[in-house]
């Protein structure tokens, strides 16, 4: 007879909870019973007593052995397969809209073939049994550059939307600015313009400014709405005062909505109603949450019990105020769509490059509206490593894989469709989460890993990307399990290569020719030091100022950085007296000479900015998400930095020999 702990481990194994994992040092860490119970609880499995563990294990095994058909199946579009059945049965396959596409009667196996890209439900019924099987039929791969941009290589620019300056935005970059900036960069030859996540942050979340802490990833940030009236130029200060801007901006939005509600034409009202109808219950629930949050606070767990889930009572309480939030989402979708149109009209083949954050805030709208798929009692984060000895808790919610599967991945499908409809390129942050997710229990137990349905999630991503003609990048930085990148790339997702993270055993930066070919490569991101900051070790000084490094550690890190600078000097033949602007051009030329499919250049680097947009692991110790760009968008067309990009990285991508002819120092193979 199995002991209680052995049964608990068996249940965890059945449910996809890791019994052990290895940390960055290679040490094996075993999940203790409190962790296993907490993570199983997150999956909705009760394990408070040994009797509950025994019962849950028996139910899991009975369900697995008792089914006649798999619960779900990934079948590449146009291919065929056979599914064994135990008895004679009648079966049919229907689309999402309920249209029947295949039907038959089978005695030993159901034969399926030639399904188009999409989602389907197979229903089979025999004597004494009836079951459904969810079918995902992805393309052979997500769209690639050749199919979408007409070339297997391209380059683009990334920057902070909130940091864009203009004569009219009042102090925070908006969606109209986005279109203007993208068009200017497109005319310089860029094929995409990447920005920070633009997920909804929440009307009542007064302190939230991080784009990676959204209330809902399927709706858009209204801080970036362009007002119909001119808000005037923003303050000259480098840092954004969100409270000041929001007070001014929201008063304008309230006035504009009042005018719309009272004086808009019937045609405009009809267009808004059509948008609301097409957006369905998802928009209705989101707007209800936003209206309720204004009355009861940003975290729904502290609301009256009757309002802690969508429903009739919540809608009644929200009242007409919900319409205001629907109107803002309508405006946001229109403006983002217009920005994408401006980008592509300027010559950008891909246009906007958007970002899908890891997860939503635990008290926010996405959790409130998806109570049937959210993992309870846990947050997602990262295990202890050399950068964070105690690990990291991101205070973000996770969708439980078993619940997500039971609901046919609808929350993910909806989010991806919403974003991919507005861009030509999408980055999925922390793509390792498609394979496994690190969960931290609320009860204080150590964290542990939970498996994710990798094949099914890749299928959903590929289907939604195919439907929207969107290229996908999976952020796969750091150490990843064997075969993970190969799985991503086989599904058509490009890898992500940040050059300043790509080092050898001696902590030297690798040659650009060693950057992964099927990837989007860049020197840095919003989470890393800028090129000037890297060169001068500004990030190391910040770590010392915050107290993360002592004097000796600071000295050692500056020594490593000097070692890396010398390596770059050798790789790119940098002269001893070059200024950082020329150094930046030469490093960018090195990226241009790599084999990476896509190259991304940071606006901060183009304009010589020293300080980083974000310092990971900090909240108030560093001015994260607040830095404005030094160059207003009106000057982008004539600014020297974007103008020289056409020569530095033309659409056809220079060879190293061509760069030499332009006087740019090459990075040797």
Domain closes at, from 39, 66, 93: 66
Give yes or no: residues 180 and 125 share one domain. Answer: no
Number of domains in the chain: 3
Position 654 confidence tier, pLDDT thresholds 50, 70, 90:
very low
pLDDT at position 667 over 70 = no
Give yes or no: residues 519 and 640 share one domain. Answer: yes
pLDDT at position 627 over 70 = yes
Domain closes at, from 31, 66, 101: 66
pLDDT at position 629 over 60 = yes
pLDDT at position 644 over 80 = no
Q: Is the pLDDT higher at 70 or at 384? A: 70
Give yes or no: residues 42 and 93 share one domain. Answer: no
Give yes or no: residues 261 and 200 share one domain. Answer: yes
Q: Is residue 20 a part of any domain in this protein?
A: yes
- How crowded is the C-beta side of 113, counted as CA atoms within 13 Å? 4
Whether 380 and 439 have beta carbons less than 8 Å apart is answered as yes
Give yes or no: residues 86 and 161 share one domain. Answer: no
Single pTM value for the model: 0.94
Give yes or no: residues 278 and 130 share one domain. Answer: no
Per-residue model confidence as pLDDT tens digits over 119-154:
999 999 999 999 999 999 999 999 999 999 999 999
Q: Is residue 224 a part of any domain in this protein?
A: yes
Q: Is residue 667 a part of any domain in this protein?
A: no
Q: Is residue 668 a part of any domain in this protein?
A: no
Give yes or no: residues 133 and 149 share one domain. Answer: no
Whether 604 and 523 have beta carbons less than 8 Å apart is answered as no
Whether 157 and 316 have beta carbons less than 8 Å apart is answered as no
| pLDDT score of 389 | 53
Q: Is residue 30 a part of any domain in this protein?
A: yes
Beta strands in 85-191 (DSSP E): 89-95, 100-106, 109-113, 118-126, 129-137, 154-158
Alpha-carbon distances, residue 250 vs 204, 215, 247 (angstroms): 12, 18, 6
| pLDDT score of 652 | 44
| pLDDT score of 574 | 83
Q: Is residue 157 a part of any domain in this protein?
A: yes
Task: State the DSSP code for 609.
Answer: -
Q: Which of 428, 475, 441, 495 is nearest to 217 (CA)?
A: 428
What's the mean pLDDT in 388-409? 88
Task: Return the CATH number at 421.
Answer: 3.20.20.80
Task: Return the CATH number at 122.
Answer: 2.60.40
Position 580 confidence tier, pLDDT thresholds 50, 70, 90:
confident
Q: Is residue 72 a part of any domain in this protein?
A: no
Tokens of 9: 């481990």
Provide the residue range defining the domain that includes 211. Answer: 145-661
Q: Is residue 482 a part of any domain in this protein?
A: yes
Exposure pattern of 539-571 as b/e (b: 16+ CB <10 Å)?
A: bbebbbeeebbeeeebeebbeebeebbebbeeb
Give yes or no: residues 516 and 416 share one domain. Answer: yes
Give yes or no: residues 269 and 381 share one domain. Answer: yes
Q: Which of 415, 591, 469 is nearest to 519 (CA)?
A: 591
Give yes or no: residues 527 and 631 share one domain. Answer: yes
Q: Which residue bears the tokens 């380059």?
A: 155
Give yes or no: residues 127 and 218 share one domain. Answer: no
Domain closes at, from 66, 94, 120: 66
Give yes or no: residues 51 and 178 share one domain. Answer: no
pLDDT at position 92 over 60 = yes
Position 385 confidence tier, pLDDT thresholds 50, 70, 90:
low
């Amino acid at each position: 007879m199995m002991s209680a702990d052995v049964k608990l481990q068996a249940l965890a194994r059945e449910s996809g909870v890791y019994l052990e994992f290895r940390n960055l040092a290679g040490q094996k860490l075993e999940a203790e019973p409190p962790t296993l119970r907490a993570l199983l609880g997150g999956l909705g499995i009760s394990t408070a007593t040994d009797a509950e563990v025994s019962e849950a294990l028996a139910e899991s095994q009975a369900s697995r052995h008792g089914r006649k058909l798999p619960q779900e199946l990934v079948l590449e579009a146009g291919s065929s397969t056979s599914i064994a059945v135990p008895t004679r049965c009648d079966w049919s396959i229907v689309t999402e809209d309920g249209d029947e596409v295949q039907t038959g009667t089978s005695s030993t196996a159901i034969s399926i073939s030639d399904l188009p890209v999409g989602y389907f439900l197979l229903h089979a019924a025999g004597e004494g049994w009836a079951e459904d099987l969810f079918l995902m039929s992805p393309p052979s791969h997500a769209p690639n550059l050749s199919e979408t941009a007409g070339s297997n290589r391209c380059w683009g620019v990334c920057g902070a939307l909130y940091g864009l300056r203009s004569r009219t935005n009042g102090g925070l970059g908006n969606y109209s600015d986005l279109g203007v900036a993208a068009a200017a960069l497109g005319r310089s030859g860029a094929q995409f313009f990447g920005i920070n996540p633009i997920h909804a942050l929440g009307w009542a979340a007064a302190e939230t400014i991080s784009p990676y802490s959204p209330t809902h990833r399927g709706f858009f940030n209204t801080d970036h709405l362009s007002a119909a009236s001119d808000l005037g130029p923003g303050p000259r200060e480098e840092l954004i005062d969100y409270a000041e801007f929001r007070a001014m901006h929201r008063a304008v939005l309230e006035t504009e909505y009042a005018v719309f509600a009272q004086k808009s034409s019937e045609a405009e009202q009809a267009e808004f109603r059509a948008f609301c109808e097409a957006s369905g219950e998802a928009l209705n629930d989101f707007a209800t949450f936003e209206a309720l949050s204004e009355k009861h606070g940003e975290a729904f767990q502290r609301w009256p019990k009757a309002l802690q889930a969508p429903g009739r009572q919540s809608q009644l309480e929200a009242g007409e105020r919900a319409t205001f939030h629907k109107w803002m989402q309508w405006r946001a979708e229109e403006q983002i769509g217009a920005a994408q149109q401006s980008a592509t009209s300027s010559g950008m083949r891909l246009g906007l490059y958007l970002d899908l954050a890891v997860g939503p805030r635990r008290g926010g709208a996405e959790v409130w509206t998806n109570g049937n798929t959210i993992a309870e009692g846990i947050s997602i984060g990262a295990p202890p490593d050399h950068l964070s000895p105690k690990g990291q808790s991101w205070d973000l919610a996770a969708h439980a894989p078993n619940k997500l599967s039971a609901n046919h991945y609808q929350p993910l499908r909806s989010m991806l469709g919403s974003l991919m409809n507005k861009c030509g390129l999408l980055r999925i942050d922390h793509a390792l989460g498609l394979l496994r997710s690190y969960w931290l229990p609320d009860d204080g137990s150590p964290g542990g890993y939970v498996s994710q349905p990798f094949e099914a999630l890749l299928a959903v991503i590929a289907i939604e990307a195919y439907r929207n003609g969107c290229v996908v990048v999976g952020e796969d930085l750091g150490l990843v399990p064997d075969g993970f990148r190969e799985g991503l790339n086989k599904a058509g997702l490009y890898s992500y290569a940040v050059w300043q993270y790509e080092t050898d055993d001696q902590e030297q930066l690798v040659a650009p020719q060693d950057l992964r070919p099927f990837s989007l490569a860049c020197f840095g991101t919003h989470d890393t030091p800028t090129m000037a900051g890297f060169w001068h070790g500004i990030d190391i000084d910040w770590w010392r100022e915050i107290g993360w490094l002592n004097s000796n550690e600071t000295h050692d890190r500056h020594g490593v950085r000097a070692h890396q600078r010398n390596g770059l000097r050798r790789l790119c033949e940098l002269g001893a007296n070059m200024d950082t602007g020329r150094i930046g051009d030469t490093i960018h030329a090195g990226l241009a000479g790599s084999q990476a499919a896509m190259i991304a250049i940071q606006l901060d680097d183009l304009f010589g900015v020293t300080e980083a947009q974000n310092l990971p692991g900090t909240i108030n110790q560093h001015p994260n998400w607040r830095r404005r760009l030094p160059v207003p968008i009106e000057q982008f067309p004539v600014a020297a930095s974007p103008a020289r990009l056409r020569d530095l990285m033309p659409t056809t991508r220079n060879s190293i020999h061509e760069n030499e002819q332009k006087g740019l120092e090459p990075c040797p193979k």
